[in-house]
Amino acid sequence: MPPKKPGLGLSIAPGSASAGSGVIADTTDPSDLLPHDGEDAMKLKDKDLEFLGELGAGNGGTVSKVRHIPTGIIMARKNIMVSAERQLKSELKILHIVRSDYIVSSYGAFSHEGAISVCLEYMDLGSLDNIYHKKGPIPEVTTVKIAVHVLRGLLYLSEKSILHRDIKPSNILVNSKGQVKITDFGVSKQVLDTIARTFTGTQGYLAPERITSENSYSVTSDVWALGLSLIEISTGKNVYPLLSLFEMMTYVQESEPPSLPPGKFTPMFEDLVSKCVIKDPTKRFSPEDLLRHPYCMDVIADGISLIEWAESLKD
C-alpha cells in the first residue's frame, strides 16, 4: 500500500494511449480547483519529481513515470492541460474521497504552469487491455479472481454513492504484487442514491439502459460493463467491435445479451458472466450479489492472490 492518503486514481498505466481530458479555463486559477488536503496529505511540488519516462500521451496532456525525490516513491504523474473546469473539479473531489485497496491510489495534486498535476500509484504491469493484447486471452480462473477484485472495488464505490461509468479493460490496472485496481474516474459521478441520468462513457461498454438514455441507471450499469470486459479478456476479442454508436444502440437493444463462446469455458463461468449482462437492469446482479455467486465464493475460499500470474507477465 502506498503511504499517505490513498485515494482514487485518474487512470494511468504503462503504454496508455490516453492521458485524460479537460480544459482549465483561462480565467481559472488551477490552484482553486484543488481540494483542501488534511494534515496527512503529501505535499507535492514540481521540483521534487524526477522524470523517469513517458507512460502515455493524448489530446488531454501527458502522463509520465516520476520519482518523488524526498521519499523515493515511484509515481505516475498526470498533467491535465485540457479539461473542463467542472469536470476537473469533480475528478479531484472524487480523488479526495476514495480510499480502497481496489482503487488506484492518489498521492495528491498540485498546480504547475497553468495546469493540474495529479500523482498516482504506479501500476507497473499496466492495464488488462495491454496485457491480453501482449500475452493473449487471460485464463478463466485468473479472470474470475480479477472479477472479484473489481467487484469489491465497485461495491466500495456504490457504498460511497459513486458510479464509475467507464469500466473497461483499459481502466483496470495490475501491478507486480498481483493487485488489480480500478482507475480513471474522468467520467465518474457522485450521485444521490447511486442513480444517474446522463449519457457518458465508452460506447462499446454502455449498458442498454444507458444507450437509450431514457431511464435512470445505477451501479448495475457498471456491472454490465464488467461482464463485457470479462468476455473480452478471456476471449481476446471485443464484444462489439467496429460498431458505430447508432449501430450499437440498435444491436444492443434488439439482440440477445452477449455471451461466452459455447463449449470453451465452464458452466460456472458462463453463468457468472450471464448474471452481469442481463438486459433488464432491475434483474441484473449487483456487485454484492455477484460476490455471493458460487464461482466467486469458491475462488475467494481458495484465495484470490494473483502474484503468480503477475510474475508470469513480467518481461
Catalytic positions, written as ranges: 166
- Alpha-carbon Rg of the chain, whole angstroms? 19
d(C-alpha 210, C-alpha 87), whole Å: 20
CA distance 222 to 165: 6
Count the Cβ atoms, other than its own, within 10 Å of residue 1: 9
Strands 73-80 and 106-112: unpaired
The binding site for ATP comprises: 78
Q: Is-contact 194 155, C-beta < 8 A?
A: no
Structural contact between residues 138 and 313, judged by C-beta atoms closer than 8 angstroms = no
What are the φ and ψ backbone dihedral angles of 3, each rounded to 5 degrees? -70, 160
Q: Residue 28: is it exposed, middle or buried by C-beta count within 10 angstroms (0-12/13-18/19+)? A: middle
Nearest residue to 220 (alpha-carbon basis) of 288, 269, 170, 297: 288
- Distances from the Cα of 260 to the Cα of 87, 130, 223, 236, 255, angstroms: 36, 21, 16, 11, 15
What three-state secondary structure class fits 255? coil
Reduced to 3 states (helix: H, G, I; strand: E, B; else coil), residue 203 is helix
